[in-house]
Amino acid sequence: MSLAAQAEAFLEMLAAERGAAANTLRAYGRDLRDLESFADHAGTGAARADSGLLRDYMAGLARAGLSPRTQARRLSCLKQFYLFLTREGMRADNPAALLDAPRLPATLPRFLTEAEVDRLLGACDPPPDDGRRWLVARAALEILYASGLRISELLGLPRRALAGDSRMLLVRGKGGRERLVPLSVQARAAAEALAACDKPLRSPCLFPGRGGQRPLTRQGFDRILHDVALRAGLDPARLSPHVLRHSFATHMLARGADLRALQMLLGHADIATTQIYTHVLAERLRAVVETHHPLAGGRARAAAAAGEPGGEAGGGTWQDS
């Protein structure tokens, strides 16, 4: 069987059994075609590739300057593809099984402060002209921050999501997995105001795009978000739908939310993904200690030497051991 036929079967499996998104399917299709081109130049086909050829292919990606995250996605595609071939009996071995993943840089999620979120929401008050644009902004930001949705989940919400008096949203996330997320009173009111404005469109979408029959595009929402950031006095480069999702998670943990509950709200399949936010909090706690601890920076010792209150000579409770 040719690689094209094998790739088609693989992508059909991802769509049918795992509910893979269209963007994922397109990306994996491109990845497999790129591998096939590399294998053809090496004098073999990707369907017959061995581990040596795959290592050469991955090394070539690094030499070409592809980012570690792009390399990691390509490797994920290869591992899933060749595992599929072995399970379906199209290959006797899996040449990708022992390939090493590129080391990804340790980065912490970017998030806004609670005050900055308040400024964003306050910037959504609609002016007399083009009021609908700001109704979209208000409803989207309220839902994103109240529920931690991904942008694809938000823009994919149907209008019927507001049916009844429920304060919960049924969301279809990655892999077709469904979950319930809360809808705050403010978020529901903002969404209902937008729905009332859009009633003449008779759209099935809660966030309709042009024409009303299809959802607002990610690019269209990005332009709205850019304008809201400017109105709020924030750098638009700091703001994205995922930054709001990170802000939701970080603020929830800071106020005592349980990590397992947060995993369910965010729709993470693995709690290890959710644990990144504990590192964010650890950084914040470190900064708090460095700023406010009585021994930080030698301030307490200096106070003690001067006989000031709060130093060791002034009756402070912290002492060296």
Write out the catalytic residue numbers: 150, 174, 242, 245, 268, 277
Helices 3-18, 22-41: crossing angle, 10 deg rounding: 160
> Which residue from 233, 266, 230, 264 is spatially nearest to 248, judged by alpha carbons?
266
Query: What CA–CA distances, in Å, run from 151 to 9, 62, 159, 221?
Result: 29, 30, 16, 9
> Which residue from 193, 139, 197 is spatially nearest to 169, judged by alpha carbons?
139
Judged on CB neighbours under 10 Å (0-12, 13-18, 19+), 315 is exposed
Helix H or strand E encompassing 191 = helix 185-197
* Buried-state track 47-74, b at ≥16 Cβ within 10 A, e below 16: bebeeebbeebbeebeeeebeeeebebb
Sign of CA dihedral 184, 189, 190, 191: positive
> Which residue from 314, 289, 286 is spatially nearest to 300, judged by alpha carbons?
314
CB atoms within 10 A of CB 94: 18
CA–CA distance, 239 with 63 (Å, rounded to integer): 32
CA–CA distance, 13 with 11 (Å, rounded to integer): 5
Structure tokens at 314: 């002034």
Q: What region does 43 belong to: left with phi over 0, alpha with psi -120 to 50, or beta?
A: left
